[in-house]
Amino acid sequence: MGLALLLAVSLLLPPQGKAAPLDELRRPSIDELYFLIIRDNDAQLLALEGGQIDLLGDIARFSDIKRLSDDERVKLYLAEGYHAFFLGLNLRRSPWDRAELRQSLWEAVNRRQIVRDVFGGYALPLFSFLPPASPYTLVASTSDFNMKAARERLRQKGWRWSKRGVLICPGEDKPLPKMKLLTPTAQVAPTTAEIAERICESMRSLGIPIETEPMDFSMMVARLDRRDFDAYVIAWELSRDPDSLYAFYHSSMDVPGGYNISGIRKPDLDEALESLKYAANEAEARLAAEKVQTLLYEYIPQVPIYSRYHIAALQNEWQGAIASLYMTPDNTYSLLSLRHENKKAFYWCLAEEPRNLNPLSASSAYEWQVLSVIYESLLAVDPFTLEDVPWLAESWRLDTVSKGGKEKTRITFKIREGVKWQDGSPFGASDVKATIEFLKKSAIPRYFDSVKDVERVEAADNTLTVTFSGKSYWYLHQIGGLPMLSAGVLSSLKDWRRLPEEDIIGTGPFSFSKYKPGEYVKLDKNELYWRK
């Protein structure tokens, strides 16, 4: 019943930036873009208040939020994201193999109180397996926090409690043995350790004797890989597409190192996941996503806990930010539309060192904040509707062709004309072909899965045709989201891990100018940018 209030968020969040159709975006009015590297939270806040930075993203501490909300020079923005925090269980071990225990666990965790106490209210209690910003999310009709109902369900299935309040499995006489909840340490994520403690408290109230075991993140991952755990907590940055569900819940991914960490193996779930992964078009994808999630609500291999809001702050003097329910103003579209009365230099706060400004090997979100302003892809995402928007590709067409008895997806892109690389050379279908083939040939880990099913790429004039070895609706996003690299740069590249600074050349609105490690990255306006 309380859920009625929750759903209201999506409907009532007022539009925060102008819903400018993306066609109206012009080339940037900013001449110089500085990414100032400030790692310390306090320093970031003070820098924003002192006017040394114009944009601060990913504000997490609610003491900072409170302070900034009182500051009139700064405007705060809020967006739902693709973040999802889960309580994971090891279904290979007792007592987690019992469905009723998992269902009761769902109801035993007071997500709302966690969000209030730990985040001061600035997070979304999560009741779904996909993040709130995903267009495919199906919200559960199962109930909210209800300890009484949770205990009642267990009682009806034959569970008892010992004198000390510990659960006893039906059919056994000894209470459950002590268990451990693996969690990253507070140094990595200060709030995660907090939340883990509270989850343990809830579990203990239900009767599960469990305590936290904080450990270094990569060590925790090693334990998870070895399947040596009872329960754990982890946060994921998911994406718009639901195909990551395959990696989490398909039985073939239950191998050491695979992402089916919970160990769920259900044939009907496998079937639904396969039809999701290999859906031929959007309609099939939606149907499959719904089926998968319905089954997940029954089996509950993991318990979703919360999803973080993204909160960002922008100096009021800068007008024209593009922000929506799904995106805070720290995005590339804003950079194209922000305007100031007299300033031409914009200062963006980067929270971590972007050590590796190489789109082939960069792996952290911070590196990509910089790189996504320099490099562009064939498709972009509309910040208001989350639909695909033409970018370097003017249009595209999906077909399913039959070859050799097998059904294959074929995508034909019409490449935009008049686009130039930042070094002046023209951009064309041959560059796209070169990019895709280079990524595949060099087996670059980050793009391995995106291009591994590419069978053939043909480039003619400004048309690009990609044929895959199988059928899947998600190929469009996988190819559409690749950063485009110049064929010239790729052909002279000896080692993909080392991209010299002068070869950081994209088609984006800003070009690389300078990187002073520990201090800043400077980008200059691209005078040759294709948008007028």
Partner 1 sequence: MNTLNNYWLRRVLSSLLVIAVVLSLNFFLFRLMPGDPTGSLLDPRFSPEAKQELLKSYGLDKPLSQQFFMYVKQMLTFRFGISFMSQRPVWQELAERLPNTLLLLFPALLLSAVLGTLLGVAAAKGRGRLTEKAVLLSGAISFSFPSFFVQLVLLLLLAHAFPIFPLRGSLSVPPPTGFWNLLVDRAWHMALPIASLVLLGFGSWALYVRNLMVKVLGEDFILLARAKGLRENEVLWGHAFRTALPPIVTIFFLSLPGVISGAVITETVFSLHGIGKFLLDSVLGHDYPAAGAAFYLMSLVTVICNLLADVVYTFVDPRISFRRLR
Partner 2 sequence: MSFWRLDTLFLAFLSLLALLTPLLGPVNEAVAPPFCKPLWLDHESGKPLSLNAKDNSLSFTWESKPPKTFSVKGTVTFEGVPKSAALLLAGPSKTYKLVDLAGYRNFDVDIDSRDVPLKLFLGLSPFVDVSNVIFSERGAYSLFIASDVKAHLDLNLNIYTGKWGIFGTDQRGRDVFRLTLAGIRISLLVGIFATLIASTLGMGLGLFAGYLGGLADSSIMRGVDVLLAIPTLPILVVISGVWGRGLWQIVFVLSIFSWMGTARVVRSLTLSLREAPYVEGLRALGAPTGYILARHFIPEAMPLLLAQMALGVPGAILAEAGLSFLGLSDPLMPSWGRMLHEAQVFGAFTSGAWWLIFPPGLGIASICLAFISVGRRFEEMADPRLREMAER
User: Which residues are at the interface with partner 1 (CB under 8 A)?
Assistant: 34, 36-40, 43, 46-47, 50, 52, 216-219, 221-223, 234, 236, 238, 244, 247-248, 255, 257-259, 347, 353, 355-356, 358, 361, 363, 443-446, 448-450, 497-498, 516-520, 522
Of 294, 297, 276, the C-alpha closest to 286 is 276
Q: Which stretch binds partner 2 (CB under 8 A): 88-96, 109-117, 346-354, 389-397?
A: 109-117
Contact status, residue 433 vs residue 457, Cβ threshold 8 Å: yes
For residue 361, the minimal CB distance to partner 1 (Å) is: 4
Helices (H), 244-309: 244-249, 267-277, 282-299
- Encoding tokens for residue 131? 């993040």
Q: Which residues contact 331 (CB under 8 A, 6 or more apart)?
A: 322, 383
SS3 155: helix
Binding partner at 36 among partner 1, partner 2, none, C-beta below 5 to 8 Å by kind:
partner 1
For residue 352, the minimal CB distance to partner 1 (Å) is: 10
Task: Between 142 and 251, name the residue whose CB sits nearer to partner 2.
Answer: 142
For residue 78, the minimal CB distance to partner 2 (Å) is: 5
Task: Between 66 and 456, name the residue whose CB sits nearer to partner 2.
Answer: 66
The rounded distance, in Å, linking the Cα atoms of 356 and 364 is: 9
**Backbone torsions φ then ψ of 230, nearest 5 degrees:** -100, -50
- Write b or e for each residue in 193-216: b if 16 or more Cβ atoms lie within 10 A of its Cβ, otherwise e: bbbbebbbebbeebbbbbebbbbe
The rounded distance, in Å, linking the Cα atoms of 273 and 368 is: 30
Task: Between 230 and 254, name the residue whose CB sits nearer to partner 2.
Answer: 230
Task: Between 8 and 460, name the residue whose CB sits nearer to partner 2.
Answer: 8
Task: Between 2 and 517, name the residue whose CB sits nearer to partner 1.
Answer: 517
The rounded distance, in Å, linking the Cα atoms of 457 and 453 is: 11
For residue 109, the minimal CB distance to partner 1 (Å) is: 23
The rounded distance, in Å, linking the Cα atoms of 88 and 304 is: 9
The rounded distance, in Å, linking the Cα atoms of 291 and 268 is: 10
- 310-315 vs 55-56, strand pairing mode: antiparallel
Which amino acid type is present at position 513? Answer: S
Contact pattern for partner 2 over residues 194 through 233, marking x by CB under 8 A: x--x---------------xxxx--x--------------
Which residues between 486 and 505 bind partner 2 (CB under 8 A)?
none
Check binding of 120 to partner 2 (CB under 8 A).
Answer: yes
Contact status, residue 391 vs residue 377, Cβ threshold 8 Å: yes
For residue 234, the minimal CB distance to partner 2 (Å) is: 17
Task: Between 57 and 207, name the residue whose CB sits nearer to partner 1.
Answer: 57
The rounded distance, in Å, linking the Cα atoms of 126 and 106 is: 11
Contact pattern for partner 2 over residues 77 through 106, marking x by CB under 8 A: -x----------------------------
- Encoding tokens for residue 306? 């919360």
Binding partner at 121 among partner 2, partner 1, none, C-beta below 5 to 8 Å by kind:
partner 2
Binding partner at 194 among partner 1, partner 2, none, C-beta below 5 to 8 Å by kind:
partner 2
Contact pattern for partner 2 over residues 122 through 161, marking x by CB under 8 A: x-x-------------------xx----------------
Select the residue interacting with partner 2 from 193, 253, 444, 493 (CB under 8 A).
193
Contact status, residue 27 vs residue 509, Cβ threshold 8 Å: yes
Binding partner at 428 among partner 1, partner 2, none, C-beta below 5 to 8 Å by kind:
none
Whether the bond into 483 is cis, omega within 30 of 0: no
SS3 76: strand
Check binding of 5 to partner 2 (CB under 8 A).
Answer: yes
The rounded distance, in Å, linking the Cα atoms of 263 and 269 is: 13
Residues that bind partner 2 (CB under 8 A): 1-2, 4-6, 8-9, 12-13, 41-42, 45-46, 61, 63-69, 76, 78, 112, 116-118, 120-122, 124, 144-145, 185-187, 190, 193-194, 197, 213-216, 219, 309
